[in-house]
Structure 1
C-alpha cells in the first residue's frame, strides 16, 4: 500500500501520545464536516435505487450532463487503467501517487513528469493524468490549455483524465460541463464536504465511457445511507457558499502563519499548503513529537499542512513552529 496522509492511529502508536491530543494536519480534507442528516431506516433496509434523486442533484451541483457515482474517486482511479490496451501514460509529478501506481499495476508504460513537460510532449502519450488543483503542489491550469490538450489526445483516441478532488472551493475552474469522449473528470465528495468516510465520488465523461466504467465497477457502487447523505450535501447550496468563504479565509490565514515562520508555501489550495524545505523530515518528526501530524514528502523534501480548523489549532501550530524552527 502506498503512503497517504491521515495515518493518525499509526502516529498514536509510534509516539505514544493519546489520540485525543493530536492535531491532524496530514490530509487535505476540510476540518468542517457537512452536518449529516438523520438517515431513514429504509436506506439501511433496502438495496440502493438509482432513481432516488441523487444523480439529478449531482448533475446540478457539478453542472455536468453525464455522471457516474463511484465509491470514492479512488475506485475510478483503479478501474480506468483496466479499460484501455497497453498505453503510454503521462502522470503529473509530484502528485497523488495512486494514479501512476494504478496504471503501472495494469502494465501500462508510465512516465511521471512535471505539468509543463506533459503539455509540451503531449504527442508522446496516449493518456495524460492531471490533478487540478494539484495535490500536493497546487498547480493550476488554464481552461483553454486543458481543452486543447484534450483535443490533441482525443484526435488519436487518447484520454485526458483530470482529477478535480480539490476544486470545489473554486468551482469556476471545473471541466465537468465540458466532459466528453476522451475527457474524464473525477470529483470527490470527501474533501470539500469533509465526508471522506462516506467514500463517494463522481466521474464525468461521455455516456459510452461511463457505461463501460459502470460495467467494470458493478452494481450498487454507493450504499443507501451514503446516497442519502451525499444528496443532502449536494443540494445544500447555502452551506456550500458559506463554507467556500470560510475555507478561503482559513487558507489565507494558514499561508500568513507559515510565511511568518519562514515556510512560505510553494503551492497549495484552499484546503492545504505545500512547503518545500531541505529539513522537512526533521520538521515532520519534531511536530509529531508535539502531537501535530503533517504529511511529509521526500522528493523533493516538503511538508503539506492541512487547515487547523479552529482557533486553538492555529495557536498550537504557531507555538510549535516557533519551537521547532528556533
Structure 2
C-alpha cells in the first residue's frame, strides 16, 4: 500500500510539473507536434471514409436545431457589435483600401449571369414599373412648366391652364388628364423597361462600370463607421432574428441542406481522397510549423490557469489511484 501511494504521488508530481506555469507552453507545443506528426502523413480516406462522414454530418444536421437561446445569443452579439461601432469615428477608408474595394467590386460585376438575372428581376418588377411611370410623368410636367415658351410668361401660363382645362374636359378624360397620361405611360411601358434593362447591362459591361464604382467609393469612403450603427432599426433586427428558426427548419425539412452536405463531401473526396494531409495543408499555403504554432497558441489560454491545473490534478490522482491500486499492479509491487 505504501509503495502504491508513493508511486501515485511521484507520478502526479511528474505530470503536474509538465503543466507548471514555466513548462506548460513547451509541453503543449510538444504534444501538438506529436499529434500533427501522426496525422500529417495520413490520407483523408484513411482518417475517415466519405460514407462515415456523410452519416455523421447528416445525423448532426438532423439533431441540430436553432433554439431560442441560440437566436438570443446571435442577436446579443449583433447588438454588442453595433454598440462598439458607435465609438468608431474613423471613415470607412481607414478599414478598407480603395484598391481592395475596387478589386472586389470588379469581381462582383464580373459575375455576369447572376448580375443580369438580378437586373432582369428588378426592372420587370411592379415597383420598377411604377417608378418609371412616375419619373416619365414628372418629366413631362416639368418640361411643360420649364419650357422657355411658358416659363415666367403669364400668357404662356394662362395658355397651359386653358389647355389643361380643355384637355380635362375632353370626352373620356373625366377631368383627369394627368391620370389618363399616367395610364397611357403604364400601358406602353414595356418597351422602355426592356430598353432600360439593356442600357444597365451595357453600362456594367463597359468601362463605365469602373467609373460608377469609383463614384460609389468616393461616397462610401467618407462615411464614418459610427454612422452605420444608426442604419439598423433595433425593432427590425428583432423581427429579422425571429424569422430565422422557421426559415432554417423549413429549408432543413426540404432536404436541401442534406443534399448540399452530401454533394460537397462527395466533391471533396473525389479530389482529395488519396491526398495526404501534408500536401493538402501545403496546398492551402500553410506550413507544418505554422499549423503547430497556431494550434498551440489556440489551446494555450484554455489550459494555462490554476483552475485547469486543479482539475487536471484531481483527474490524474483519481486515475492513477485506480491504476496503482489495481490487483495487477499490486501483485507486481508485492513481489
More strand by share: 1
User: What TM-score, normalized to structure 2?
Assistant: 0.20
Bigger relative contact order (CA 8 A; separation at least 6): 2
1 or 2, which has the higher helix percentage?
2
Relative to the length of structure 1, the TM-score reads 0.21
